[in-house]
A = this chain, B = another copy of it.
Amino acid sequence: MTKPAPLSLDQLQVLLSVAEAGSFAGAARRLNRATSAVSYAVDTLESQLGIALFDRGTTRRAKLSTAGEAVVAEAKSVAYSAQMLRARVKGLREGLETEVSVVVDAMFPSERLVEALKNFHVRFPTVPLRLKLEALGEIERSLRSGTAVIGIGGSVHMKSEGLRSIQLAGVQLVPVAAPGHPLAPGGRAKPGAPREHLQLILTEQSATDRRDFGVVSVNVWRLGDLASKHALLLAGIGWGGMPEPMVRADVDAGRLVRLQMPDWRGGVYPLQVAHKNDSPPGPAGQWLIECLIAQDDALARF
């Protein structure tokens, strides 16, 4: 027998008003109701909960009991989530989407992402976000399959049919290795011969579309995600290209060193933000895209 007691939001709202106003009559005025209605609501609430919320013994003033204080605290939490519901519904009524799902290339600098998402949450507190970090072609795939509505990734991997994409500032790719590595400045390898050393490159699992980005060496390890590549580089295993913002701290701290490679043509990893043409993002998603572009412009100013 599920009998969760017929609590009502209104009762809780009345309780909160009384607690805030400090008196039944005050709450009644604030709620535009008769005092007796307030009294009645509190009464039924008390009997439904089975505990006294107010100290009625001595004085006639509305003084919360200790139990009452506790219930008020809980009631606030209930009222808050109800308020969230209303806010969310308000957004939906105004055409906001129910959620925004984003796939991001692991190359995309996380500070820029975090910054954009922070703004997004301020602007659209009621719209939940779904975030996936993927690499290379997986971004386009998520976009096409509808798993995500917005994709941020390398433009090489976006065939444009059916997708609308906007260019963003790319990230600088720099060749790095651990300080002890032979290719490192001051290392014992002669310059111009990086081909002979183990290169770590990013690839993807899927059999199709296996072109790689910036392969120089013969001796190559293919890694499925950028974090693993990062970890191996830090451990001193091989060398490889990394997005500059991601290794800046490591280079500054001396955990990695930037390699001098004349024949390195990795240059800039181009980035763009894209969405499907036939299911464009709603207002919130649109806003997020524009936020990323604006961020881009601001960066370009330096």
Interface residues of A (CB under 8 A from B): 4-10, 12-13, 49-51, 66-67, 69-71, 73-75, 77-78, 80-86, 88-89, 92-93, 98-99, 128
Task: Check B5–A93 contact: CB distance below 8 A.
Answer: no
Tell me the smallest distance from the CB of A43 to a CB of chain B, in Å: 16
Partner of A85, one of B8, B66, B78, B92: B78
> Is there contact, CB below 8 Å, between A71 and B85?
yes
A13 to B6, CA, bound (A): 10
- CB nearest neighbor in B for A1: B32
Q: Are A93 and B50 in contact (CB under 8 A)?
A: yes
Q: Are B78 and A74 in contact (CB under 8 A)?
A: no
A78 in contact with B70 given A9-B8, A89-B51, A92-B51 (CB within 8 Å):
no
In angstroms, how far is the closest chain B Cβ from the Cβ of A89? 5
**Sampled A-B contacts (25; CB under 8 Å):** A4-B13, A4-B82, A5-B86, A6-B10, A7-B9, A8-B10, A9-B9, A50-B89, A51-B89, A51-B93, A66-B98, A67-B98, A70-B92, A70-B98, A70-B99, A71-B88, A71-B92, A74-B84, A74-B85, A74-B88, A75-B85, A77-B85, A78-B78, A78-B82, A80-B81
Q: Which residues of B contact A80 (CB under 8 A)?
A: 81
Contacts of A73 in B (CB 8 A): 128
Q: How far is the CB of A44 from chain B (nearest CB, A)?
A: 14
Copies of this protein in the assembly total 2
Q: Across the two chains, which residue of chain B brings its CB closest to A74?
A: B85
Task: Please report the C-alpha to C-alpha distance between residue A50 and residue B89 in the assembled complex, in whole angstroms.
Answer: 8
A73 vs B126: C-alpha distance in the bound complex, in angstroms? Answer: 12
State A238–B5 Cα separation when bound (angstroms).
63
Closest Cβ of chain B to A27, distance in Å, is 12
- The answer on a CB contact under 8 Å between B81 and A81 is yes
Q: When chains A and B are docked, how far (Å) is the Cα of A51 from the Cα of B70? A: 35
A24 to B12, CA, bound (A): 28
Contacts of A75 in B (CB 8 A): 85
Question: Which are the 10 A-B pairs with shortest beta-carbon distances?
Answer: A74-B85, A70-B98, A78-B81, A77-B81, A67-B92, A49-B89, A81-B81, A8-B8, A66-B98, A50-B93
Q: How far is the CB of A28 from chain B (nearest CB, A)?
A: 14
What CA separation (Å) do A157 and B201 show in the bound complex? 63
Partner of A86, one of B7, B66, B70, B88: B7
A280 to B85, CA, bound (A): 41
Please indicate which of the listed interface residues A5, A9, A67, A83 has the most CB atoms of chain B within 10 Å of its own CB.
Answer: A9
Q: Is the CB of A81 within 8 A of B74?
A: yes
Counting chain B CB atoms within 10 Å of each CB, the highest count among A50, A67, A84 belongs to A67
Residue of B nearest to A78 (CB): B81
